[in-house]
Chains A and B, each alone.
Chain A
Amino acid sequence: MPTLPVNIGSYLVNLCSALLLLTCFAIVAQRRLMACVDLFALQSGFLAVTATLVAYLTGIHHIYLAAILTIAIKAIILPRILKKIVRQLNVQREVSMYVNIPTGLLICGGLVILAFFITQPIVHLGFLLTQDSLAIALAIVLIGFFIMVSRQKAVTQVIGFLVMENGLFLAATAAAYGMPLMVELGIFFDVLVAGLIVGIYTHQIQETFGSVDTSRMKALKE
């Protein structure tokens, strides 16, 4: 059972959530695809640590299971699949982006403020332990969304989606100490399948277009 006082526990949870947010910014600022994948794996690691902390401090056991699955699927399996894709496709860097890096970072800063602003009226309903994590979680979701729309490479778009998923998982852990077990398992399953599908798909795109640059997809315009 928990031996830490609640306020120290709360600090630790906040610290971990903040580290998650920090890795988001690092992904936004990173052009090298391999490094993006590594950063995503690191972020998933921080997420698992946050979940373990919450599980330890609250004594709710099924969050441990979620933490283990996070490590297994998001920190090990999916990064491996993504790295394999990057190696096969032989693209190392994102050369052109729709938004350049400094502007992107500024926009993400704005998104964090927006997230705190939106969640402000509802955080007081939350648990003391994880009160501030909900805003951070929404910020991560929004930044993931931004990564998806601002990058052109299929792999980085997928990383954006997975970052969004991490944000959602943090939200579920922070706001409600995790979703019901059945739902949680379903979500992990969906994420894993999505990763596999993307693996097959990028391969097909590469074969057909000779590039994974989605900006080359121009045939279907109004």
Chain B
Amino acid sequence: MPDENHVTLMVLAAPVVAATLSLFIKNIRTLHGLNVMTMVILVVADLVLWATVVREESFTALGNVVFIDSLSIFILSIVVGVGFSCSIYLWSYFDDEAIQQLVQPHRLWTFFPLYHVFLFAMIVATLANSLGVQWVAVEATTLATVFLITFFKSRESLEAGWKYLILCSVGIALALFGTVLTYYSSIRVLGEENAALNLTSLLPVAAQMDGHVLKLAFIFILVGYGTKIGLVPMHTWLPEAYSEAPAPVTAMLAGVLETVAVYVVLRSKSIVDQAVSPGFTGNLLILIGLVSFGTAALFILIQRDYKRLFAYSSIEHMGLAMLGFGIGGPLGTFGGLWHLLNHALAKSLGFFAVGNIFRRYRTRQIHEVQGMAKVQPITAIAFLAGGLALVGMPPFSLFNSELLVITSLAQMTFQFDSFHLGRFLTITVSHEIRSLGIIMIIVLFAVALFGGFIYRLTGMVWGTPPAGVRQGEAWHIGQLPLALSVLALVWMGFSLPTQVEALLQRATDVVIGR
């Protein structure tokens, strides 16, 4: 077996090498080839690390800098999996744009280095042992993606990019304050040492840390990384950035970056939960999850732009996942994690399809896109599948994970405790709220969402195509990621593969600290 140190090094080095090489390669084909090859290396390395985790539970590598357990491998698999399908999609996407002469070939020389740096930052955030390094990496993702979002350099995209840069930097700064507070309480216990922010040192002693400081830290961390996840009310950058960025970038932002940000919050949650009653983080997550879910469902009803429609759907699904983590326990957490995976697949599928539609119709207005079934039959099927999956229809696996989250909600008995913020601000939530009430509200919003989504989707797929749009679509390699995502969603909807289920189970144990 290969040494895990070498494999870990390879995972970290591959994107860096690719980014450096991309700076010098001027041939577009070679750039795409390099990109796909890097992703293949990452996928293989991820599988090797997965096998190691199955054998050893968890391990540190590269001298304590990297800490890998089931949870990080689960997230890493999402990163490289979606990254792989995105790299294939990118090829056809930019070839097409180049043929239509909308993207000058030399612009790709700036695209790929940034893209690889973005990937690298996400991998570091997933594998880092230190909470501080995680923070640095998440901030680096913001910086790397700004110019990817503004890639088309239109007025709107510059505006969206600026909003993204400012809001996410502020959010992330608040998260750093939370991290400083965590460190503040951990050095009480561990002493002043460089390892006092490392997960490997924090997790065993978390129970002895000061609860009040950790509560305050978690609030800052949730607000901070919540901005990156796009939770309401810190979500205002998200619809704009998602609709202005090139489709493959949006697929990565929605499918992967959000997942990584959730991962960082989960790590903090598992530390804070040991020091204070799990009800504290749980209630915060439930509250913010419900607000996000509800707000997004309402905004979906009034969208006229199909990219924004999918962007709001991201907020909604992250809200649902947060709800799952907030309810906690084996069922809720399992549902939440599985939902992250399903959402990453379905949302990247959705944005790939959206990218195809935009390249043909050249409009983002829903009412101007009609008759996709005739114009782009293959994309139409993928688009419809993605849409149905995102509203939680069987046989797609989002149905299963949503059902798990809602079931866990039904089983939950509410034990709200009050928490103090300073001296006289005390927030208490009554014991009387029964889970059934919340389920009613969720189902109501879900129905509204279903209606809003399906009404618009069917309008786009059927009908007569507008004049002047070329009809017919040939099979090409860029459709492969769409097909694979649909296949994976349906497959998991019927039966979750045992290896994935085992990994999810162990990742759940990590989150709830068993």
A208 touches B153 (CB 8 A): yes
Closest to B187 in A: A176
B159 touches A125 (CB 8 A): no
Distance of B125 from chain A, by nearest CB (Å): 12
A204 touches B158 (CB 8 A): yes
Interface string of A150-179 (1 = CB under 8 A from B): 000010010001001100100110011101
B132 touches A183 (CB 8 A): yes
A176 touches B130 (CB 8 A): no
B213 touches A122 (CB 8 A): yes
Which of chain B's residues have a CB closer than 8 A to the CB of A33?
none
Interface string of B235-270 (1 = CB under 8 A from A): 000001000000000000000000000000000000
Distance of A187 from chain B, by nearest CB (Å): 6
Contact of A205 among B158, B174, B197, B213 (CB under 8 A): B158
Q: Is A197 an interface residue (CB 8 A)?
A: yes
Contact of A172 among B130, B183, B212, B422 (CB under 8 A): B183
- Chain A contact residues (Cβ within 8 angstroms of B): what range? 35 or more
Q: State the CA gap A187–B162 with chains docked (Å).
A: 21
Q: Is B216 an interface residue (CB 8 A)?
A: yes
Q: State the CA gap A221–B507 with chains docked (Å).
A: 40
Closest to A190 in B: B139
Q: Is B184 an interface residue (CB 8 A)?
A: yes
Contact of A118 among B132, B135, B156, B216 (CB under 8 A): B216
Which of chain A's residues have a CB closer than 8 A to the CB of B176?
168, 187
Q: Which one of B41-49, B165-173, B372-380 is at the interface?
A: B165-173
Closest to B150 in A: A204
Interface of A is mostly: helix
Interface string of A200-212 (1 = CB under 8 A from B): 1100110011000
Residue count of chain B within 8 Å CB distance of chain A = 50
Which of chain B's residues have a CB closer than 8 A to the CB of A118?
216, 421-422
Q: Is B90 an interface residue (CB 8 A)?
A: no
B197 touches A125 (CB 8 A): no
Report A's interface with B, CB cutoff 8 A: 60, 117-118, 120-122, 125-126, 134, 138, 141, 144-145, 148, 154, 157, 161, 164-165, 168, 171-172, 175-177, 179-183, 186-187, 189-190, 193-194, 197-198, 200-201, 204-205, 208-209, 214, 217, 219-220, 222
Q: What 5 A-B pairs have minimum CB-CB distances, sorted nearest first?
A: A183-B132, A186-B136, A175-B184, A217-B159, A180-B194
Please name 15 further chain A to chain B contacts, defined as beta carbons within 8 Å, in addition to the given A118-B421, A145-B170, A220-B160, sorted by A numbering: A117-B422, A161-B170, A164-B170, A164-B173, A171-B177, A175-B181, A180-B132, A180-B194, A187-B176, A194-B139, A197-B143, A198-B165, A204-B153, A208-B155, A219-B159
Report B's interface with A, CB cutoff 8 A: 130, 132-133, 135-136, 139-140, 143, 146-147, 150, 153, 155-156, 158-163, 165-166, 169-170, 173-174, 176-177, 180-181, 183-185, 187-188, 192, 194-197, 210, 212-213, 216, 240, 302, 420-423
